Structure 1
Amino acid sequence: MTSPFDIVGFDMDGTLLDTSGDLAAAVNHALASAGRPPLTVAAIKPMIGGGARHMLAQGMAATGGCDDDELDVLHRRLLDHYEANMVVHTAPYPHALDALDALAARGVRLAVVTNKIERYAAEVLATLGLSDRFACLIGGDTLGAGNAKPSPAPIHAMIERCGGGRAAFVGDSIYDVRAAKAAGVPVIACAFGFLDRPVAELGADATVDDYRELLPTLERLAAA
């Protein structure tokens, strides 16, 4: 059986993997070092998606604010903590691996396009034994400053590095949707992700509540 798409790309945090526990722990480590109260995982989830500094800036804003100099110091503390504790709680979402297997069996080339620092993303995938499933990995720093999502540049690079062809993208944030739309690629939003607004307001071409819905949703998008 073949697929209507040659390439399917995935965001990482809140899409392929539930990384919220480990990211929240890193944010709270940085907040604690600044004498701030901890935030719940639920409060931090909507802050995820725009990169670690953006996530921390929102955490600091929620607990009293800070200036750029303090944010620089705390950002480094967050990264150091996260680098040492990246895969404590992180795991794939239910049925995600089954969906990847089904796509691969149809000859689809798979990719990860994330705003996470590339070497961190690579380590997470390697630790979970997932690296070999993907034809390419593009991180938030892979293409240089200004070329992370919502720029279309990483989506264009994904298609090029995967050898070209018809592509679709799966994500959970406005950054994912805007990047894919700007690149002219259909995009599916995950209703279970780290949403900062109702999933219907992201403007995706389709949504899924579970990875068991991904293949039929891709087929419907292609037919449309």
Structure 2
Amino acid sequence: MSASRQTVIFDLDGTLVDTGADLIAAANASFRDMGLGDLLDPEADKATAFRGARAMLRLGLGRTGAVDETVVDREYPGLLAHYDRAVCVHSHFYPGAVEAAEALRGRGVALGIATNKPFGLADKLLRALGVRDHFGPLVGADSLPVRKPDPAHLWEAVDLAGGARDRTLLVGDTETDRTTSRNAGVPSVLVTFGPEGRDIARLAPEALLDHFDDLPDLVDRLLG
């Protein structure tokens, strides 16, 4: 491992890729299986989609009454199955994401992805988008016994990327990503093009990212 190599680890959903519509479609398919109809809106509920399948189930079920966690657990595998069958219908990269990665790799920056999406689904999504290895190694929710915000999840991505733990930053879009950065003692960059917009500043990251074109300069400013 290089002691001086700049390292950038990305979250996936809501950071690199807008997966909201496909996630919510899978959740609504599950609700239809339960005879409840479509309970989530692709735009209004996108922030919940980026927090994961169980969060979507809780939100939708809560709109019909009290949330029963045994129902959430029971329906979770079915939601993932729906998503697996249509993982990349509407999903797309945020503008400039691929180009920013190319620019960073060209400068020798180590890249990786740390996502709380199951590895198989994340791998399938990246392959469908044609960029499986473009962003470096992938660490998924089930790659380790722990996941974000445990810093071990982040460090696994850093180590697989051949990066430097003392020159790492995490680019994300949620409180989980901010907490992961804080737990690891690394700078946090939160994107403003997600559902929260610039209100994400409430989490006090070291930097906000309005467009991926700005990322290389942010890396230099935060990591030197």
Q: TM-score, normalised by structure 2?
A: 0.90
Contact 1:5–1:168 under 8 Å retained in 2: no
Measure how far apart 1:190 and its partner are: 0.3
Using a 3 Å threshold, how does the CA distance of structure 1 residues 197 and 39 change in structure 2: closer, same or farther?
A: farther
Q: How far did residue 5 of structure 1 move?
A: 5.4
Alignment size in residue pairs = 218
Gaps of 5+ in 1: none
* 1:8 aligned partner: 8
Q: CA RMSD in A?
A: 1.9
Per mean C-alpha deviation after superposition, the further-off stretch among 192-201 and 40-49 is 192-201
Alpha-carbon distance, 1:85 to partner: 0.3
Overall identity of the aligned pairs, in %: 37
Per the alignment, residue 24 of structure 1 pairs with 24
Q: Do 2:190 and 2:209's aligned partners in 1 also have CA atoms closer than 8 Å? A: yes
- Equivalent AA in structure 2 for residue 158 of structure 1: A
| Cα 1:16/1:28, change in 2 over 3 Å | same
Alpha-carbon contact 2:101-2:135 (below 8 Å) kept: no
SS at 2:189 equivalent? strand
Distance 2:197 2:104 in 1: 28
Q: Is residue 61 from structure 1 mapped to residue 70 from structure 2 by the alignment? A: no
CA offset at residue 164 of structure 1? 3.5
Give CA deviations for 1:8-56 in whole Å, capped at 9, x if unaligned.
1100000000101100101111122221443211232121344322332
The one-letter code of the counterpart of 1:150 is P
Specify the code of the residue in structure 2 equivalent to 1:161: L
1:103 and 1:53 mapped to 2: Cα distance?
Answer: 34
Aligned equivalents of 1:197, 1:149: Cα separation in 2: 23
2: CA distance, partners of 1:158 / 1:183: 13
Kindly state the Cα deviation for residue 153 of structure 1 after the two structures are TM-superposed.
1.5
The farther-off stretch of 101-110 and 59-68 is: 59-68
What letter corresponds to residue 132 of structure 2 in structure 1? Answer: S
Q: Which moved more, 1:60-69 or 1:103-112?
A: 60-69
139 and 194 in structure 1: CA distance in 2 versus 1, 3 angstrom threshold: farther
State whether residues 8 and 169 of structure 2, in contact with CA within 8 Å, keep that contact through their aligned partners in structure 1: yes
SS in 2 for 1:32: helix
**Are the structure 2 counterparts of residues 164 and 115 from structure 1 closer, same or farther at C-alpha, using a change threshold of 3 Å?**
same
Of the structure 1 ranges 210-219 and 44-53, higher mean CA displacement relative to structure 2 is found in 44-53
Question: Residue 123 of structure 1 aligns with which residue?
Answer: 124
TM-score, L = length of structure 1: 0.90
Q: Find the aligned partners of 1:135 and 1:220 in 2 and give their Cα distance.
A: 22
Counterparts of residues 68-79 of structure 1 (less than 5 Å):
68-79=69-80
